[in-house]
Each structure stands twice: as structure tokens, then as C-alpha cells.
Chain A
């Protein structure tokens, strides 16, 4: 339906996922994971699953990012591998 938007967001999803794996800074990984969730939320919204998009935005992009940041705050910020 809106395939150019769909494609751009899909590319962003993959870029965020790969970046979250390769970035050494765990705080940055948490933020990238939030961005990934938000892009997934946009994809759900495009597919018409508004309830799922809402859940993804509040749980995936919102609270779970905060939990990751809290966990990083209590452990080390840099990863070794």
C-alpha cells in the first residue's frame, strides 16, 4: 500500500538491529533497541494493527528501554566482546 515508507522503515529496523549488536557501549545499545522497537511500532501501525503498535510503543520503546538503562546503571557500561 505505502511500499516506499514500508521499505524505508524496514531498512531502519535492520540497521538498528545490527547496530545494537555491534555497538560496544551498552547504554547506546539500550537506546538503539528503543529505536528498533519504535520502528517496529511504525510497521505495526502501517499494517493496521493499531493495538499492537500501541503496546509496542509503550512497552517496547518506553518501559523496557528504561529497564535496560537501569540494568546498565547497575552493571558495567562497556561490553568486552
Chain B
């Protein structure tokens, strides 16, 4: 069986390599991709959209409907993760730690629970004493990561980056919070309901910008129609920024939703 799979893998790889021999060389000016549309984008994108980053101009303006459905795909990934993994049955075993003495109570009866307050804290099954160095370093790093994520979202049209990357960085800063403290600490600050609403709101912001452009008398996602409200100056760049913010919101929420559901097996109580 192992030999058979090896043969299949080698055969597929060989076929793929054979196929790539027909592809045009890297940077070939006569490649089909650089003969038609690319030239138009390179020559006219800055004049059309006033955005120096051509990749963002293509993704968020010329091909914005495509990007809208990519955002919808990310949203669907989060939704699928939620529907597959989320487990609403309450857990039977509870662990409580008496803070002054360090004694750990294991309560097996789900009806009897210890009141969590100053004396007792609710802990995970695999509980480790909190590490001061990790906590301090992460607490100092997380604000900078988040500011950088916002920078990436806001400068998507001037430098590499954009909603997807910024959203992923913002989401990973929240995941870092869950890793360095614990999952309960994250869920106390960012509730599941908030994440769900944020992921849907991101897609809604994107589509809303498109629909409002239609209401104002243009095509779907035609940012020029916002000119009477926001002014002529850099109106397409501004529209792209709005769209990127929507993408960033959706991606941030979906990354955290996927992480929480995977790491706690859908129970949302304990995990890394």
C-alpha cells in the first residue's frame, strides 16, 4: 500500500513537472498574462484609481466583486467551523483552585458548583502556574501587534498588505492573548457573540458599500459615486479603504472563531 501510494505520488509529481515545462518563463514579456490585461493595469491603474499599489487596485477596485466573494468564503469557513465543532453540552468535571493555599478541588457533580470569586478560581484540567515572563512579554507585545495590524489595513493601497493580511495579524494578536493567558481570559474580553457579529458585519460592510453605490446611481461597488459625499479627491482610494476594513473585520473574527473552536473542541471553556 505504501509502495502504491509512493508510485502514485511520483507519477502525479512527474506529470505536474511535465506540465510546467509548457508554462512561459518567469518574467517573460510574451507570456499570455502580460500581453493583454496586465499592460492596461500597469499603464492606467494610477490614473484611474490614484492608488500606487497596483495589486490592491486590481483586487479591491477592478476585481472587487471577486474579492467580495473571497470574503464571503472566509466567512463561510468560520461558519462551517462553528457548525461542525461547536458543542453546547455543559462539561461534567469542574476544577477549582483555592488561590491562597493552591489546593485544587475536582467537582464531578455538574449541579454543585463552587462560587468563583476572590477565594476560588475556575481552572483548566491541564493547569500550569502562570509564567510571569510570558505574560509580561505578551502583554507588552500585543498592543504593538494590533497597531501594526491596523497600519497594514489602513495602508493597503500604498504598501503591501491590506484587509486579509491585517485581519490575520489582528486575529493572531488575539490568539496570542489566549495562548499566553488562557482561553477563558480571551473569551471574557471577546465574547463568542461579538465575534460572530463581527465576522458577519465585515461581509456586510463590503456588500453595503457596493449596494449604497448602486443606490447613489452607479454600478455595484462603483466608488466614484461617493464623490458628492466625501469629495472628489482620492475617492476610489477611500472606497478601497472602506472595503479593506470590512475584509479585515471578517478575517479577524473568523481566525479567532476557528482557533477557539479547534483548541477547545467546541466547548469554549479550556484550551491552550
Contact = CB atoms under 8 A, between A and B. Distances in A.
Contacts of A54: 152, 160-161, 165
* Most chain A beta carbons < 10 A, residue from B26, B172, B265: B172
Interface string A52-81: 011100110011001101110110000001
A70 B85 CA distance: 13
A50 interface: yes
A19 to B, nearest CB: 16
Given A66-B172, A66-B259, A51 B265 contact: no
Interface residues of B, number: 25
Question: What does DSSP make chain A's interface, helix, strand, loop or mixed?
Answer: helix
Contacts of B262: 67, 70-71, 74
Interface string B29-63: 00000000000000000000000010110000000
Question: What does DSSP make chain B's interface, helix, strand, loop or mixed?
Answer: helix
- Range, interface on chain A: 10 to 19
16 contacts: A51-B160, A53-B160, A54-B165, A55-B165, A58-B168, A59-B168, A62-B168, A63-B168, A63-B171, A66-B175, A66-B179, A67-B258, A70-B271, A70-B272, A74-B262, A81-B2
Interface of A: 47, 50-51, 53-55, 58-59, 62-63, 66-67, 69-71, 73-74, 81
Interface of B: 2, 26, 53, 55-56, 152, 160-162, 164-165, 168-169, 171-172, 175, 179, 255, 258-259, 262-263, 265, 271-272
